[in-house]
Structure 1
Amino acid sequence: MSKRPLILVTNDDGINAPGIRSLIQVMNEIGDVVVVAPDSAQSGMGHAITINSTLHLDKISNDSEKQQEYSCTGTPADCVKLAINEILERRPDLCVSGINHGSNSSINVIYSGTMSAAIEAGIEGIPAIGFSLLDYNYNADFEAAKYFAKKITKTVLKNSLPKDVVLNVNIPKLSKKDIKGIKVCRQARANWQEEFDKRKTPQGRDYYWLTGKFVNLDKGQDTDEWALNNGFVSVVPIQFDLTAHHSIQYLNTLNLDD
């Protein structure tokens, strides 16, 4: 009898968010599950790690469920680091992060705690996938997301991933029957046109709320934004080597050390 894969589950919306509870259900059908996730919401934390304060882990009892669970006072990246170094007795076969409440397509991947957790696992040489549903509602319907998360996870476990690559998976806010399929894409070139809503406290001190509008500058039909807007699940392979390799030759012509 073959050994079931060990799957590390994490997220950035917090250990009690409906998205991660849905992902745990799916992963329990596939392998042995260990959950290490933030004890509160950590959205937009990017790849932040905790270095100036202590971290705490609490083991959670789930008598009716199969998985081991730990809540962590740190960031999503902290959760993965602690899981690998302090909790797991062997390296996981896969790390999955999510299911995020909201999009992590295009430039959002830079800010995403969901994807940073997956990237942290990738840095450690562990195949990893981040899952996001394009629905910010806390009580969103995760049934279609669960179906595609299971499908993609089983494929990755069977075939593995290229070295130093993790997957950014976004699922449109549609029923399973209305989703047209899965498209492997590139990240769309887009950004946020940001504004700050400036207000005053009763004591007269200024404070700010960050607001903004997402602007897709990319008209290509091979992008994650195109796929999602046209009813497909988008799968973008992401690397954590940020070197602009195509610029090295040009920069060498500048004789920077003269």
Structure 2
Amino acid sequence: MSERPLILVTNDDGITAPGIRMLIEIMNTIGDVIVVAPDSPQSGMGHAITVNNVLHCNPTTVDDGPQIEYSCSGTPADCVKMAKHEILNRTPDLCVSGINHGANSSINVIYSGTMSAAVEAGMEGIPAIGFSLLDFAWNADFRAAKEYVKKIALNVLLNGLPDGVVLNVNIPKLKEEEIKGVRICRQANGVWKESFDKRKSPFGKEYYWLSGEFVNNDKGLDTDIWALENGYISVVPVQFDMTAHHAIQKLNTWDL
């Protein structure tokens, strides 16, 4: 490229989360960084967008650096829309989302605000990557993944991505010397075995806490879950065309 790439950074944990601060630091070594991120945590929002309320998006400064930052009242997908259509004067060369505090492997990709921001960017024609670390702690240590995050981002800038594809990158909770490398994977066939913890408030009103246990039904050695359990960073190419192409022939046999 004749000029430094323009990189959009967003997340779902909020603009002050340590994960996005580390991602901003890494991206500053690669290109010109614009941050548009939620002003509060938006985990589990999936691809929700704001349609029945106003959006606020204001310049802010969280810490020192050359990046330009905006804090948005909306969801991760809203942040990408605002960046593309209201804030930026050219299409970013790359969008990176994260680094998420917690896994977005297997079926979790469906619920993830981190990955939905990346998917929204992909839908807007921007090469995009979602990064997640398998550590939910606010003070999680993201340093072990720095060089891998940078290398994956540089490869996307250099090589591009297939049309309709974004990357879902998950990083094991390991020290740098313990990470074995990167594996290109498929999404594991896993589900959440869910339940609701029913309780009563001091005023006698019933309320619920969603809880659950993740169940991996996939014993394949080419999945993101296998890679993460065996010390590798998993990279899954994700498509946002949700058509089940393999089912079309079968459905065409129905008497409709």
- Please classify the TM superposition score into its range, dividing by the shorter chain length: over 0.9
SS at match of 1:95: strand
The question of whether the paired residues in 1 share the 8 Å contact of 2:130 and 2:167 is answered with yes
Distance 1:214 1:121 in 2: 28
Which residue does 1:12 correspond to in 2? 12
SS at match of 1:84: helix
Distance 1:220 1:171 in 2: 19
SS at match of 1:79: helix
Which residue does 1:227 correspond to in 2? 227
Larger displacement relative to structure 2 (143-152 or 64-73)? 143-152
SS at match of 1:140: coil
The question of whether the paired residues in 1 share the 8 Å contact of 2:200 and 2:207 is answered with yes
Quote how far apart the aligned CAs of 1:65 are. 1.1
When the two structures are superposed, what TM-score results if normalisation uses the length of structure 1? 0.98
| Residue identity in the other structure for 2:99 | I
> In the superposition, relative to structure 1, how do residues 190 and 62 fare at CA in structure 2: closer, same or farther (>3 Å)?
closer
Quote how far apart the aligned CAs of 1:45 are. 0.1
Superposition map of 1:76-87 within 5 A: 76-87=76-87
Which residue does 1:208 correspond to in 2? 208
Distance 1:201 1:132 in 2: 35
Quote how far apart the aligned CAs of 1:144 are. 1.6
Which residue does 1:140 correspond to in 2? 140
SS at match of 1:90: coil
Cα-to-partner distance string for 1:84-111 (whole Å, 9 max, x where unaligned): 0000010000000000000000000000
| Residue identity in the other structure for 1:208 | Y
Distance 2:37 2:62 in 1: 15
Distance 1:175 1:35 in 2: 28
Structure 1's consecutive aligned runs of 4 or more residues displaced over 4 angstroms after TM superposition are none
Quote how far apart the aligned CAs of 1:61 are. 3.3
| Residue identity in the other structure for 1:179 | I
Distance 2:158 2:208 in 1: 48
Which residue does 2:115 correspond to in 1? 115
SS at match of 1:145: helix
For structure 1, the residue ranges without an aligned partner over 5 or more in a row are none
Which residue does 1:199 correspond to in 2? 199
CA RMSD of aligned residues (A): 1.0
Percent of aligned pairs with the same amino acid:
71
Quote how far apart the aligned CAs of 1:146 are. 1.9
Distance 2:14 2:63 in 1: 20
1:90 matched to 2:72? no
Distance 1:203 1:10 in 2: 40
Quote how far apart the aligned CAs of 1:63 are. 7.6
| Residue identity in the other structure for 2:101 | H
SS at match of 2:71: strand
When the two structures are superposed, what TM-score results if normalisation uses the length of structure 2? 0.98
Distance 2:102 2:62 in 1: 27
Which residue does 1:237 correspond to in 2? 237
Distance 2:176 2:161 in 1: 25
Superposition map of 1:4-153 within 5 A: 4-61=4-61, 64-153=64-153
Counting matched residue pairs gives: 256
Cα-to-partner distance string for 1:28-77 (whole Å, 9 max, x where unaligned): 00000000000000000000000000000110136831010000000000
Distance 1:251 1:63 in 2: 55
Which residue does 2:158 correspond to in 1? 158
